[in-house]
Amino acid sequence: MKILLAFHIKNFLKAKETMIWVIVMPLVFAVFFGLVFRSSGGNHTEGLISILNHDSGPIGEELVNFMKKKNFDVRNAVVPNAAATIEIPETFSSGYLSGASPEIRVTFPAKGGNNHQAQVKVYLAQFTLQMIKSAIWIREHKLNPDDFHAVFSRPSKISLKETAGERKQIPSGFSLSFPGNLIMFVMMNILIYGGISLRQDMESGITRRTLVAPISKSGFITASILFRTIIGVFQALIILIAGQLFFHVNYLTTSIWLLPLITLFSLAIASLSMLLATTVRNPDRIATAAIILTLPLAALGGCWWPLEIVPKLWQKIAWYLPTGNIRDVFSKLFIHEIAFRDIAPNAAYLIVLSVILTVAAVHRLKQNMT
Protein backbone atom coordinates (compact mmCIF):
# COMPACT_ATOMS: atom_id res chain seq x y z
CA MET A 1 0.00 0.00 0.00
CA LYS A 2 2.81 2.41 0.87
CA ILE A 3 4.51 1.81 -2.48
CA LEU A 4 1.28 2.40 -4.36
CA LEU A 5 0.57 5.57 -2.37
CA ALA A 6 4.07 6.88 -3.04
CA PHE A 7 3.62 6.06 -6.75
CA HIS A 8 0.40 8.08 -6.93
CA ILE A 9 1.94 11.06 -5.11
CA LYS A 10 5.01 11.02 -7.37
CA ASN A 11 2.89 11.08 -10.52
CA PHE A 12 0.71 13.83 -9.06
CA LEU A 13 3.68 16.08 -8.33
CA LYS A 14 5.05 15.53 -11.83
CA ALA A 15 1.87 16.79 -13.53
CA LYS A 16 2.62 20.49 -14.04
CA GLU A 17 -0.83 21.38 -15.36
CA THR A 18 -2.41 19.75 -12.33
CA MET A 19 -0.17 21.68 -9.96
CA ILE A 20 -1.26 24.92 -11.65
CA TRP A 21 -4.90 24.14 -10.83
CA VAL A 22 -4.05 22.94 -7.34
CA ILE A 23 -1.81 25.84 -6.28
CA VAL A 24 -1.77 28.77 -8.71
CA MET A 25 -5.42 29.10 -9.71
CA PRO A 26 -6.91 28.99 -6.17
CA LEU A 27 -4.47 31.68 -5.03
CA VAL A 28 -5.20 33.85 -8.08
CA PHE A 29 -8.93 33.59 -7.51
CA ALA A 30 -8.57 34.17 -3.74
CA VAL A 31 -6.47 37.30 -4.24
CA PHE A 32 -8.68 38.66 -7.04
CA PHE A 33 -11.97 38.21 -5.20
CA GLY A 34 -10.37 39.35 -1.94
CA LEU A 35 -9.46 42.64 -3.59
CA VAL A 36 -12.91 42.94 -5.17
CA PHE A 37 -14.75 42.33 -1.90
CA ARG A 38 -12.40 44.63 -0.05
CA SER A 39 -12.75 47.49 -2.53
CA SER A 40 -16.52 47.14 -2.72
CA GLY A 41 -17.17 46.99 0.96
CA GLY A 42 -13.84 47.06 2.73
CA ASN A 43 -12.85 44.76 5.52
CA HIS A 44 -15.55 44.41 8.14
CA THR A 45 -15.90 47.54 10.29
CA GLU A 46 -18.15 48.35 13.19
CA GLY A 47 -19.03 51.66 11.57
CA LEU A 48 -17.80 55.22 11.55
CA ILE A 49 -17.25 57.22 14.73
CA SER A 50 -15.80 60.66 15.51
CA ILE A 51 -13.37 61.04 18.41
CA LEU A 52 -12.36 64.60 19.27
CA ASN A 53 -9.31 63.95 21.44
CA HIS A 54 -8.29 67.09 23.37
CA ASP A 55 -6.57 65.04 26.07
CA SER A 56 -2.93 65.91 26.69
CA GLY A 57 -2.27 62.58 28.44
CA PRO A 58 -2.12 58.90 27.47
CA ILE A 59 -5.73 57.82 28.17
CA GLY A 60 -7.30 59.73 25.28
CA GLU A 61 -4.78 58.25 22.88
CA GLU A 62 -5.45 54.80 24.32
CA LEU A 63 -9.20 55.20 23.76
CA VAL A 64 -8.62 56.10 20.10
CA ASN A 65 -6.40 53.03 19.64
CA PHE A 66 -8.90 50.84 21.50
CA MET A 67 -11.75 51.76 19.18
CA LYS A 68 -9.56 51.26 16.11
CA LYS A 69 -8.68 47.76 17.33
CA LYS A 70 -12.41 47.10 17.58
CA ASN A 71 -12.61 47.79 13.83
CA PHE A 72 -14.22 51.21 14.02
CA ASP A 73 -13.37 53.73 11.33
CA VAL A 74 -12.21 56.54 13.64
CA ARG A 75 -12.20 60.17 12.44
CA ASN A 76 -10.73 63.07 14.40
CA ALA A 77 -13.40 65.51 13.20
CA VAL A 78 -17.18 65.72 13.41
CA VAL A 79 -18.72 63.56 10.68
CA PRO A 80 -22.48 63.84 9.97
CA ASN A 81 -23.08 60.10 9.41
CA ALA A 82 -21.00 58.90 12.38
CA ALA A 83 -22.55 56.29 14.68
CA ALA A 84 -21.33 58.38 17.63
CA THR A 85 -19.24 61.44 18.44
CA ILE A 86 -16.90 61.16 21.44
CA GLU A 87 -15.30 64.29 22.88
CA ILE A 88 -12.41 63.79 25.32
CA PRO A 89 -11.56 66.80 27.57
CA GLU A 90 -8.03 68.09 27.95
CA THR A 91 -7.72 67.04 31.63
CA PHE A 92 -9.11 63.54 31.10
CA SER A 93 -5.84 61.66 31.80
CA SER A 94 -4.58 63.90 34.58
CA GLY A 95 -7.95 63.79 36.32
CA TYR A 96 -8.31 60.01 36.33
CA LEU A 97 -4.70 59.36 37.30
CA SER A 98 -5.04 61.78 40.23
CA GLY A 99 -8.21 60.11 41.52
CA ALA A 100 -10.85 62.44 40.07
CA SER A 101 -13.69 61.35 37.76
CA PRO A 102 -13.69 63.49 34.62
CA GLU A 103 -16.23 62.58 31.96
CA ILE A 104 -16.13 62.26 28.22
CA ARG A 105 -19.03 63.48 26.15
CA VAL A 106 -20.72 60.91 23.89
CA THR A 107 -23.31 62.06 21.38
CA PHE A 108 -25.46 59.74 19.27
CA PRO A 109 -27.46 60.81 16.20
CA ALA A 110 -31.05 61.76 16.93
CA LYS A 111 -32.40 59.40 14.26
CA GLY A 112 -32.37 56.41 16.60
CA GLY A 113 -30.17 53.53 17.69
CA ASN A 114 -28.66 50.70 15.65
CA ASN A 115 -26.19 47.88 16.11
CA HIS A 116 -23.18 50.16 15.59
CA GLN A 117 -24.35 52.50 18.34
CA ALA A 118 -25.01 49.56 20.63
CA GLN A 119 -21.47 48.32 19.99
CA VAL A 120 -20.06 51.78 20.83
CA LYS A 121 -21.74 51.55 24.24
CA VAL A 122 -20.43 48.01 24.81
CA TYR A 123 -16.86 48.92 23.88
CA LEU A 124 -16.91 52.13 25.93
CA ALA A 125 -17.98 50.06 28.93
CA GLN A 126 -15.10 47.66 28.28
CA PHE A 127 -12.63 50.52 27.96
CA THR A 128 -13.90 52.24 31.11
CA LEU A 129 -13.49 49.04 33.14
CA GLN A 130 -9.94 48.52 31.90
CA MET A 131 -9.11 52.23 32.33
CA ILE A 132 -10.26 52.33 35.97
CA LYS A 133 -8.28 49.20 36.80
CA SER A 134 -5.17 50.64 35.13
CA ALA A 135 -5.50 54.01 36.90
CA ILE A 136 -5.89 52.32 40.28
CA TRP A 137 -2.87 50.11 39.59
CA ILE A 138 -0.71 53.14 38.70
CA ARG A 139 -1.76 55.05 41.83
CA GLU A 140 -1.25 52.06 44.13
CA HIS A 141 2.18 51.25 42.73
CA LYS A 142 3.16 54.92 42.39
CA LEU A 143 4.07 54.55 38.74
CA ASN A 144 4.70 57.31 36.23
CA PRO A 145 1.58 58.36 34.23
CA ASP A 146 3.56 57.60 31.08
CA ASP A 147 3.39 53.93 32.09
CA PHE A 148 -0.36 53.92 31.45
CA HIS A 149 0.02 52.38 27.97
CA ALA A 150 1.98 49.41 29.32
CA VAL A 151 -0.37 48.91 32.28
CA PHE A 152 -3.47 49.19 30.09
CA SER A 153 -2.12 46.53 27.71
CA ARG A 154 -1.61 43.99 30.49
CA PRO A 155 -3.88 40.90 30.18
CA SER A 156 -7.10 41.36 32.13
CA LYS A 157 -8.58 38.67 34.37
CA ILE A 158 -11.99 40.35 34.14
CA SER A 159 -13.90 40.22 30.88
CA LEU A 160 -17.07 41.92 29.71
CA LYS A 161 -19.11 39.92 27.26
CA GLU A 162 -19.68 41.73 23.97
CA THR A 163 -23.34 41.53 23.02
CA ALA A 164 -25.56 43.84 21.04
CA GLY A 165 -28.68 42.13 19.78
CA GLU A 166 -28.24 39.35 17.23
CA ARG A 167 -25.44 41.05 15.33
CA LYS A 168 -22.92 38.78 13.63
CA GLN A 169 -19.49 39.59 12.30
CA ILE A 170 -19.48 39.05 8.55
CA PRO A 171 -16.21 38.13 6.80
CA SER A 172 -15.15 40.18 3.78
CA GLY A 173 -12.08 40.73 1.63
CA PHE A 174 -9.41 38.05 1.98
CA SER A 175 -11.11 36.64 5.09
CA LEU A 176 -14.01 35.69 2.80
CA SER A 177 -12.22 34.81 -0.44
CA PHE A 178 -9.47 32.53 0.92
CA PRO A 179 -11.65 29.96 2.70
CA GLY A 180 -14.30 30.14 -0.04
CA ASN A 181 -11.85 29.42 -2.85
CA LEU A 182 -10.03 26.84 -0.73
CA ILE A 183 -13.22 24.82 -0.28
CA MET A 184 -14.32 25.17 -3.90
CA PHE A 185 -10.98 24.27 -5.48
CA VAL A 186 -10.23 21.44 -3.04
CA MET A 187 -13.55 19.85 -3.96
CA MET A 188 -13.20 20.51 -7.69
CA ASN A 189 -9.61 19.28 -7.98
CA ILE A 190 -10.16 16.11 -5.97
CA LEU A 191 -13.24 15.28 -8.02
CA ILE A 192 -11.62 16.03 -11.38
CA TYR A 193 -8.11 14.67 -10.85
CA GLY A 194 -9.12 11.84 -8.54
CA GLY A 195 -12.06 10.79 -10.70
CA ILE A 196 -10.34 10.98 -14.10
CA SER A 197 -7.13 9.26 -12.94
CA LEU A 198 -9.05 6.34 -11.45
CA ARG A 199 -11.27 6.01 -14.53
CA GLN A 200 -8.26 6.06 -16.84
CA ASP A 201 -6.52 3.42 -14.74
CA MET A 202 -9.60 1.24 -14.91
CA GLU A 203 -10.02 1.76 -18.68
CA SER A 204 -6.35 1.07 -19.48
CA GLY A 205 -6.17 -2.04 -17.32
CA ILE A 206 -3.68 -0.59 -14.84
CA THR A 207 -6.08 -1.36 -12.00
CA ARG A 208 -6.28 -5.05 -12.95
CA ARG A 209 -2.50 -5.29 -13.40
CA THR A 210 -1.97 -3.62 -10.02
CA LEU A 211 -4.07 -6.27 -8.32
CA VAL A 212 -1.82 -8.97 -9.81
CA ALA A 213 1.07 -7.44 -7.88
CA PRO A 214 1.59 -8.39 -4.23
CA ILE A 215 -1.05 -6.00 -2.90
CA SER A 216 -4.48 -6.77 -1.51
CA LYS A 217 -7.68 -5.30 -2.87
CA SER A 218 -8.24 -3.50 0.44
CA GLY A 219 -4.72 -2.09 0.29
CA PHE A 220 -5.35 -0.78 -3.23
CA ILE A 221 -8.60 0.88 -2.17
CA THR A 222 -7.06 2.37 0.98
CA ALA A 223 -4.13 3.82 -0.98
CA SER A 224 -6.52 5.30 -3.55
CA ILE A 225 -8.65 7.01 -0.89
CA LEU A 226 -5.65 8.26 1.10
CA PHE A 227 -3.98 9.65 -2.00
CA ARG A 228 -7.03 11.72 -2.94
CA THR A 229 -7.38 12.90 0.65
CA ILE A 230 -3.75 14.01 0.67
CA ILE A 231 -4.39 16.09 -2.48
CA GLY A 232 -7.04 18.07 -0.62
CA VAL A 233 -5.01 18.55 2.55
CA PHE A 234 -1.92 19.54 0.55
CA GLN A 235 -3.85 22.14 -1.45
CA ALA A 236 -5.57 23.52 1.65
CA LEU A 237 -2.24 23.91 3.46
CA ILE A 238 -0.71 25.81 0.55
CA ILE A 239 -3.64 28.24 0.43
CA LEU A 240 -3.78 28.69 4.21
CA ILE A 241 -0.02 29.26 4.51
CA ALA A 242 -0.06 31.79 1.64
CA GLY A 243 -3.00 33.58 3.23
CA GLN A 244 -1.24 33.67 6.60
CA LEU A 245 2.13 34.90 5.29
CA PHE A 246 1.06 37.43 2.67
CA PHE A 247 -2.52 38.51 3.42
CA HIS A 248 -2.82 38.17 7.23
CA VAL A 249 -5.62 35.61 6.96
CA ASN A 250 -4.87 33.79 10.20
CA TYR A 251 -7.21 30.80 10.01
CA LEU A 252 -4.40 28.23 10.10
CA THR A 253 -2.99 29.25 13.49
CA THR A 254 -6.31 30.07 15.16
CA SER A 255 -7.26 26.52 16.12
CA ILE A 256 -5.64 23.07 16.08
CA TRP A 257 -8.99 21.63 14.98
CA LEU A 258 -9.09 23.25 11.55
CA LEU A 259 -6.66 20.85 9.85
CA PRO A 260 -8.39 17.66 11.12
CA LEU A 261 -11.72 18.99 9.85
CA ILE A 262 -10.21 19.84 6.46
CA THR A 263 -8.85 16.28 6.39
CA LEU A 264 -12.33 14.89 7.05
CA PHE A 265 -13.75 17.13 4.33
CA SER A 266 -11.06 15.95 1.88
CA LEU A 267 -11.73 12.34 2.83
CA ALA A 268 -15.42 12.72 2.04
CA ILE A 269 -14.69 14.35 -1.33
CA ALA A 270 -12.01 11.72 -2.07
CA SER A 271 -14.59 8.97 -1.67
CA LEU A 272 -17.04 11.00 -3.75
CA SER A 273 -14.46 11.24 -6.55
CA MET A 274 -14.08 7.46 -6.60
CA LEU A 275 -17.83 7.05 -6.59
CA LEU A 276 -17.97 9.46 -9.53
CA ALA A 277 -15.28 7.49 -11.42
CA THR A 278 -17.16 4.23 -11.00
CA THR A 279 -20.45 5.80 -12.08
CA VAL A 280 -19.45 8.01 -15.03
CA ARG A 281 -17.58 5.76 -17.46
CA ASN A 282 -16.33 8.46 -19.83
CA PRO A 283 -13.24 10.26 -18.42
CA ASP A 284 -14.07 13.44 -20.36
CA ARG A 285 -17.50 13.61 -18.77
CA ILE A 286 -16.09 13.21 -15.27
CA ALA A 287 -14.62 16.73 -15.39
CA THR A 288 -17.94 18.13 -16.57
CA ALA A 289 -19.83 16.26 -13.86
CA ALA A 290 -17.34 17.45 -11.23
CA ILE A 291 -17.78 21.10 -12.23
CA ILE A 292 -21.58 20.79 -12.40
CA LEU A 293 -21.53 19.27 -8.91
CA THR A 294 -19.00 21.66 -7.38
CA LEU A 295 -20.27 25.05 -8.51
CA PRO A 296 -23.82 24.81 -7.08
CA LEU A 297 -22.52 23.34 -3.83
CA ALA A 298 -19.94 26.14 -3.62
CA ALA A 299 -22.61 28.80 -4.14
CA LEU A 300 -25.10 27.23 -1.74
CA GLY A 301 -22.36 26.53 0.81
CA GLY A 302 -21.21 30.15 1.13
CA CYS A 303 -18.00 29.98 -0.91
CA TRP A 304 -19.03 32.94 -3.09
CA TRP A 305 -20.72 35.15 -0.51
CA PRO A 306 -21.11 35.14 3.29
CA LEU A 307 -23.76 32.76 4.58
CA GLU A 308 -24.56 35.39 7.22
CA ILE A 309 -26.35 37.54 4.63
CA VAL A 310 -28.63 34.84 3.22
CA PRO A 311 -32.04 33.81 4.69
CA LYS A 312 -32.10 31.64 7.81
CA LEU A 313 -33.58 28.67 5.95
CA TRP A 314 -30.74 28.81 3.43
CA GLN A 315 -28.20 28.83 6.27
CA LYS A 316 -29.80 25.76 7.85
CA ILE A 317 -29.80 23.87 4.54
CA ALA A 318 -26.19 24.92 3.81
CA TRP A 319 -25.00 23.37 7.08
CA TYR A 320 -25.95 19.94 5.74
CA LEU A 321 -23.91 20.40 2.58
CA PRO A 322 -20.20 19.44 2.75
CA THR A 323 -19.20 22.89 1.47
CA GLY A 324 -21.50 24.76 3.85
CA ASN A 325 -20.47 22.64 6.82
CA ILE A 326 -16.75 23.28 6.48
CA ARG A 327 -17.53 26.92 5.61
CA ASP A 328 -19.33 27.17 8.95
CA VAL A 329 -16.08 26.19 10.67
CA PHE A 330 -14.24 29.06 8.97
CA SER A 331 -17.04 31.45 9.98
CA LYS A 332 -16.61 30.42 13.61
CA LEU A 333 -12.85 30.88 13.32
CA PHE A 334 -13.35 34.37 11.91
CA ILE A 335 -15.24 35.45 15.03
CA HIS A 336 -13.17 33.76 17.74
CA GLU A 337 -10.79 30.93 18.51
CA ILE A 338 -12.75 27.69 18.56
CA ALA A 339 -12.60 24.79 20.99
CA PHE A 340 -13.61 21.25 20.13
CA ARG A 341 -17.09 21.71 21.57
CA ASP A 342 -17.68 24.49 19.03
CA ILE A 343 -17.01 22.27 16.04
CA ALA A 344 -18.04 18.87 17.44
CA PRO A 345 -21.30 18.85 15.39
CA ASN A 346 -19.34 19.74 12.24
CA ALA A 347 -16.85 16.95 12.92
CA ALA A 348 -19.64 14.45 13.55
CA TYR A 349 -21.35 15.42 10.29
CA LEU A 350 -18.14 15.10 8.25
CA ILE A 351 -17.31 11.74 9.83
CA VAL A 352 -20.76 10.35 9.02
CA LEU A 353 -20.59 11.74 5.48
CA SER A 354 -17.11 10.29 4.96
CA VAL A 355 -18.22 6.86 6.17
CA ILE A 356 -21.30 6.83 3.92
CA LEU A 357 -19.41 7.95 0.82
CA THR A 358 -16.46 5.63 1.52
CA VAL A 359 -18.70 2.59 1.92
CA ALA A 360 -20.52 3.49 -1.31
CA ALA A 361 -17.26 4.10 -3.19
CA VAL A 362 -15.67 0.86 -1.98
CA HIS A 363 -18.79 -1.10 -2.92
CA ARG A 364 -18.85 0.38 -6.43
CA LEU A 365 -15.09 -0.03 -6.87
CA LYS A 366 -15.19 -3.70 -5.89
CA GLN A 367 -17.97 -4.25 -8.42
CA ASN A 368 -15.88 -2.63 -11.16
CA MET A 369 -12.78 -4.61 -10.19
CA THR A 370 -14.42 -8.04 -10.40
Domain boundaries, given as residue ranges, for the chain: 2-40+171-369, 45-152
End-to-end Cα separation, the chain, in angstroms: 20
- For β-strands 47-53 and 105-107, DSSP reports them as unpaired
Measure the CA–CA gap between 91 and 215, rounded to whole angstroms.
81
Give me the pLDDT at residue 215, please: 61
Looking at domain 45-152, which CATH architecture does it have? 3-Layer(aba) Sandwich (3.40)
Give me the pLDDT at residue 4, please: 62
C-alpha dist (Å) from residue 53 to 62, 78, 116, 132, 183: 10, 11, 20, 19, 45
Measure the CA–CA gap between 230 and 86, rounded to whole angstroms.
53
Measure the CA–CA gap between 194 and 269, rounded to whole angstroms.
9
pTM flag (> 0.85): no
One digit per residue, the tens of pLDDT, for the chain of length 370 reads 666 677 667 777 777 777 788 888 898 988 888 887 764 444 445 678 899 999 888 888 888 888 888 888 888 888 877 888 999 999 888 887 777 778 889 988 866 556 677 788 888 888 888 888 887 877 787 777 777 777 777 665 544 444 444 445 677 788 889 999 999 999 999 999 888 888 887 777 666 666 555 566 677 778 888 999 999 999 999 999 999 888 888 888 878 899 999 999 999 999 999 999 988 888 889 999 999 999 999 999 999 988 878 888 999 999 999 999 999 999 888 766 677 888 999 999 999 999 999 999 888 877 776 6
Residues 6 or more apart whose CB falls under 8 angstroms from that of 123 comprise 46, 66, 67, 70, 72, 162
Measure the CA–CA gap between 362 and 225, rounded to whole angstroms.
9
